[in-house]
């Protein structure tokens, strides 16, 4: 990951110091960067000569202090061990210019705690910049505000991300998993519990997610591809930091068996050899019996929490998931399409199954109560130009006038639940 980030800065014209613990690691990193640049050049997306870009990268063995002299930004991408990260940050703080910002690429650790490794006057300039792997290809960067981060630092991090050609999203609070990993954890959780309860097979779940929900990979294929050990590690780290979840034995058993997926040759699927990914053949019809709304509803619930708490905007939540996970829609866009009331019913089904953590978020309940159900009412998380139902009702009113008003009064007098378009007031 670190060499990919260094490559991005070098492509953008920055002089880069790349520091690691040994010359062997650095030499391999530079080879990887060169190979990546060759591929980018072949696709016609490189404006400069490869050697010109490589000349901007100065490898340094072990000396963090030397590496950060005179820099304007430090991006740390060491192993996901908070004590190691804190040591790196303390050293960088000691030697970097006072105005330099220190960014961590952590995907799971508390940035606020990492910031406490530096002097108090530096803490406002510590920020999270979570790149996605591989950095040269993945367009998303999550910019995370710690408990100390200043608005100026957030703005600088956003600007750096844009200069690298990336799409930044701002996470306003240092919550476990930020945006993308929280959403991903929910779909994985739902998928695993459906299998654990004997309601579906791994293949049926993945088929439903790919062919009914339109995701590029099913939950289990993606876990195999990422590494089930990585999924367990991030999940455990998020759980320890207070992420409310229902740990599922379907995942933990694979970790205990050391069947980590592609890297070991077997996970939820079997592969030709360790490290060799071959996409499993999953027939479309396998997912026919699966209600894919049950799989998506927990992601919507998580997104609603993030929005209600002011952790991220609706646009950034959806953009993060589209760009970070390559979903065709973000969870809030899915919610508007499927219907907020439909999402709430699916979440209530999970609660009835014993997973109380999937209880509908208050924001969703409020939206249902207010008739903001998504596209079908013209407004949900987003507003729409018009709903089909409202348009049909308006046409009928023009055609039948007083008769339709009398029908409206008759239905209303029954006391039955009635939904109206929030803009037109039309019966739905």
Instruction: Give the SS3 label for residue 286.
Output: helix
The DSSP code for 209 is I
For 24, the token pair is 């062997």
**Which residue among the candidates 17, 36, 107, 108 is catalytic per the annotation?**
107
CA 122/CA 102 separation, integer angstroms: 9
Helix residue ranges per DSSP H, 260-401: 292-308, 314-325, 331-338, 340-352, 362-369, 388-400
Q: Is 130 a catalytic residue?
A: yes
Strands 126-131 and 140-144: antiparallel
Distances (CA, A) of 396 to 130, 391, 425: 52, 9, 14
Q: Which tokens is 359 given? A: 């209880």
Distance CA 20, CA 62 (A): 5
Q: Which residues are bridge partners to 57 per DSSP?
A: 16
Cβ atoms of residues 248 and 192 within 8 Å: yes
Estimate to the nearest angstrom the gap between the alpha carbon of 160 and the chain centroid.
20
CA dihedral 186, 190, 192, 197 (to 10 degrees): 150
Helix (H) or strand (E) holding 407: helix 402-413
Active-site entry in 181, 207, 301, 387: 181
Two structure tokens written together for 68: 């950060």
Rounded-to-integer distance, Cα 274 and Cα 208, Å? 27
Whether the CB-CB separation of 175 and 259 falls below 8 Å is answered with no
Specify whether the CB–CB gap between 300 and 314 falls below 8 A: no
Report the C-alpha gap between 41 and 43 in whole angstroms. 5
Q: How far is CA 124 from the centre of its chain?
A: 25
Q: Is 420 helix (H, G, I), strand (E, B) or coil?
A: strand
List the catalytic residue out of 3, 17, 76, 142.
142
Is residue 15 flagged as an active site residue?
Answer: no
Which residue of the set 36, 76, 130, 387 is catalytic? 130
What DSSP string describes 113-144?
A: HHHTTS-TTTGGGEEEEEE-SSTTT--EEEEE
Active site positions, annotated: 107, 130, 142, 181
């Amino acid at each position: 990951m670190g060499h990919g980030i260094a490559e991005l800065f070098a492509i953008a014209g920055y002089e880069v110091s790349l520091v690691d613990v040994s010359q062997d690691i650095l030499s391999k990193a530079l080879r990887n960067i060169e190979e990546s640049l060759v591929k980018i050049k072949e696709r016609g997306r490189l404006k400069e000569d490869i050697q010109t870009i490589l000349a901007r990268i100065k490898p340094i063995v072990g000396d963090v202090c030397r590496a950060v002299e005179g820099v304007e930004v430090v991006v740390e991408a060491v192993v996901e061990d908070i004590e190691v990260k804190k040591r790196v940050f303390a050293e960088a703080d000691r030697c970097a210019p006072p105005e330099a910002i220190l960014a961590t690429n952590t995907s799971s650790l508390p940035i606020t705690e990492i910031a406490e490794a530096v002097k108090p006057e530096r803490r406002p300039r510590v920020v999270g910049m979570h790149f996605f792997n591989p950095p040269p290809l993945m367009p998303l960067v999550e910019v995370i505000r710690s408990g100390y981060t200043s608005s100026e630092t957030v703005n600088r991090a956003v600007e750096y991300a844009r200069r690298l050609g990336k799409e930044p999203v701002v996470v306003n609070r240092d919550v476990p998993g930020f945006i993308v990993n929280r959403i991903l954890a929910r779909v994985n959780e739902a998928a695993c519990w459906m299998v654990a309860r004997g309601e579906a097979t791994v293949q049926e779940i993945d088929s439903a997610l790919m062919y009914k929900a339109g995701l590029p990979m099913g939950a289990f294929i993606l876990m195999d591809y990422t590494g089930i050990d990585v999924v367990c590690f991030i999940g455990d780290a998020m759980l320890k930091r207070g992420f409310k979840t229902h740990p599922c034995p379907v995942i933990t058993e694979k970790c205990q068996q050391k069947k980590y997926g592609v890297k070991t040759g077997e996970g939820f699927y079997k592969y030709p050899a360790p490290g060799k990914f071959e996409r499993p053949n999953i027939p479309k019809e396998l997912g026919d019996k699966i209600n894919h709304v049950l799989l998506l509803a927990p992601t919507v619930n998580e997104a609603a929490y993030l929005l209600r708490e002011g952790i991220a905007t609706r646009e950034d939540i959806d953009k993060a998931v589209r760009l970070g996970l390559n979903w065709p829609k973000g969870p809030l866009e899915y919610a508007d399409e499927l219907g907020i009331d439909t999402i709430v019913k699916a979440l209530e089904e999970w609660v009835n199954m014993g997973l109380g953590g999937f209880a509908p978020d208050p924001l969703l309940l409020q939206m249902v109560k207010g008739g903001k159900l998504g596209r079908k009412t013209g407004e949900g998380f987003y507003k729409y130009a018009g709903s089909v139902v409202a348009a049909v009702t308006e046409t009928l009113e023009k055609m039948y006038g007083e008769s339709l008003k009398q029908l409206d009064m008759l239905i209303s007098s029954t006391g039955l639940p009635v939904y109206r378009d929030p803009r037109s007031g039309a019966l739905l």
